[in-house]
Amino acid sequence: METFDTTKKPLADLLCDIKTGKIQLPDFQRGWVWDDNRIKGLIASVIKSFPISVVTLLETGENTSFKTKPVEGVNISKDIKPEYLILDGQQRLTSLYQTIVSNSVVNTKNSKGYEIKRWYYIDMQKALNPDLDLEEAIFSINENKIATQNIGHDIICDLSTQEKEFENMMFPVCMIDEFSEWRWHFEEYWNYDTEKLRFLSQFERYVINNYSHYSVPVIVMKKENSKEAVCQVFEKVNTGGVSLTVFELLTATYAASGFDLKKDWDNIHASFNNHKVLKNTCNTDLIQAVTLLSTYKKKMAAMQASNETEKIPAVSAKRKSMLELKVDEYEDTRQEIVDGFIKAAELLTCNHIFTARDLPYTSQLIPMSAIIAVLGKEIDNIGNKNKLMRWFWCGVFGELYGSANETRYALDIQQVVGWILNDEKEPQTIYDAVFSPSRLQTLRTRNSAAYKGIYALLMGENTTDWLTGSKIEMETYFQKSIDIHHIFPRLWCENNKIPKSDYDTIINKTPLSKGTNIFVGGEAPSKYLIRLEKKAKISAEDIDNLLRTHVINPELVRYDRFNDFIDDRKEAIFKLIENAMGKPIVRDVQNLNEEGVFVDNDSEDEEQE
């Protein structure tokens, strides 16, 4: 069965259907944005009988019960239900409706983006001049219909009355569909002058009739199409190139049932504002997590029912499943997911991931929130927290959440929950996670999830700032402007001909306060450590103990033994990662695919010289 029809429809009929509300817009369509020049070009194309591309309409029905709105400028009762919705062609149809049918001044923009009000006219004499392109005959004028120059002192065109339109031989585009009436007044104004009547007949033949006979190719998607199909078609054919999110489509769908999804998200997002880790969590993340939990619940319920005649539904977070999420399913599940996101943020904060900037993968919060929602109060158990964090670190250091992960999400919620609650076998994510030793040498900026993960692990070692003596916890992280900085300063490394590929890695970096980093400057560790003893008024032994909280061997930095330091700290970081993942790093594995490669540009961390 075909899911669409193709046909041609007279432009005048399309504009009439827009006026009566038979054709409207789905609420997810963006606003009308065409500027003055594009509108003039569009009018010229119609009058010259040039194609203006295909219009795609959607037949309304049960599967396509979106919240709707009339085309901009159309005044109709809210009770009028459309028969068709515009998927592609909004800008063209709105521009033509406003200039031809609305009989109102058009709110548009000039070439510089400033808002202007314009009426559109056809210079009748230019339109019939064979030496001119018809497009040169199309022009617009301000809302007063008076064009001036010399700072308004000289009037160059006055069309403020119908008589002046006749006098200047200027035809208003807004009268195209009422040409007969305009013609009658034109003839009367010129006292039925033979030459004027002949001229007007030519204008009607070569200009007005082109509009009257103009047809537009139309694709009509049938109402049997699914929301997923509608979404895909909208994104592929929409000439504005605007990507449609699942959230926007569901917002329009839920609104038809009286539920304001956008307002609900605004309230949820406000509650997320108290948790810096959730800053970059978006509305689609929420929908995906709700879908994941909702489909998980359906599967569990079906399995408990043990009805072998019914197919067990699949757990899914894929786009199709998200688009099939019903409003009652969303309402039943969303608070559990909101609580799951917040508990996930709290747990990550306890593990020294304090901001969204330092979160390895925003996407990993989706299955994590759903898992926590299923666990409920069981997540408060320290053993369960440790298991969940092991899964989390395996995802981070295995770098498993950097692309499309819907299949992994579905496995995570089932396998991690079963592993934690019922001691089932370890989840696939833990099995798949492998950290290559060579990867450590390539981690240079926060663009890599593993880089952020190591940064968090370093702060979890009772790490203490060298100058202030403050342990790096959440409070000091913000108060002291903690960031990650070089141990062997960049300037010293460059002066000693150490390649950037060796010194500008996570191996040579550690969390320090802004003040400590400035104090360290660009000197050799052997020098700045002596200055630190004097400034902090503590012994060399105390300084060494502070260095050890950063998994740094004091002896190697005190004697500026860079290469030995790199080898030693590399091994210390491997042990941190192994402890977090709960599995060994195979040291002779060097050739795994890596998420990032070194680019020789400035690092994000600047030493103060």
Paired with 321 in beta bridges are none
The dihedrals phi and psi of 150, each to the nearest 5 degrees, come to 55, 50
Burial 265-299 (b: 16+ CB within 10 A, else e): beebeeebeebbbbeebebbbbbbbbbbbbbbbbb
Three-class SS state of 357 = helix
- 56: enclosing H helix or E strand: strand 55-59
Three-class SS state of 21 = coil
The CA distance from 473 to 462, in Å, is 9
Three-class SS state of 169 = coil
**Cβ atoms of residues 607 and 519 within 8 Å:** no
> How much is the pLDDT for 406?
92
Q: Where are the alpha helices (DSSP H) in 103-221?
A: 124-127, 162-167, 179-189, 194-203, 209-212
> How much is the pLDDT for 66?
77
The CA distance from 375 to 568, in Å, is 40
The structural domains of the chain, with segments of one domain joined by +, span 4-107+214-237, 113-192, 261-426, 438-581
Neighbour count for residue 418 (Cβ, 10 Å): 13
The dihedrals phi and psi of 123, each to the nearest 5 degrees, come to -75, 105
> How much is the pLDDT for 131?
85
**Cβ atoms of residues 400 and 409 within 8 Å:** no
Burial 218-252 (b: 16+ CB within 10 A, else e): bbbbbbebebbbbbbbbeebbeeeeebbbbbbbbb
The dihedrals phi and psi of 330, each to the nearest 5 degrees, come to -65, -45
> How much is the pLDDT for 427?
97
Summarize pLDDT for 129-154 with one digit per residue, the tens.
Answer: 988 888 899 999 999 999 887 766 78
Q: How far is CA 529 from CA 465, 467, 497, in A?
A: 13, 10, 22
Low-confidence stretches of the chain (pLDDT beneath 50): 239-242, 590-609
- How many angstroms from the chain centroid is the CA of residue 277? 18
Nearest CA among 369, 61, 93 for reference residue 224: 61
Strands (E), 90-229: 106-109, 115-123, 138-141, 146-149, 154-158, 170-172, 215-221
The dihedrals phi and psi of 360, each to the nearest 5 degrees, come to -55, -50
Summarize pLDDT for 423-462 with one digit per residue, the tens.
Answer: 999 999 999 999 999 999 999 998 899 999 999 999 999 9
**Among positive and negative, which fits the CA dihedral 264, 269, 274, 278?**
positive
**Among positive and negative, which fits the CA dihedral 80, 81, 87, 88?**
negative
The CA distance from 461 to 550, in Å, is 7
> How much is the pLDDT for 593?
45
In the structure encoding, which two tokens stand for residue 518, read together?
């400035």
Three-class SS state of 586 = coil
> How much is the pLDDT for 605?
44
In the structure encoding, which two tokens stand for residue 248, read together?
């926007």
> How much is the pLDDT for 64?
62
pTM: 0.72
The CA distance from 482 to 472, in Å, is 8
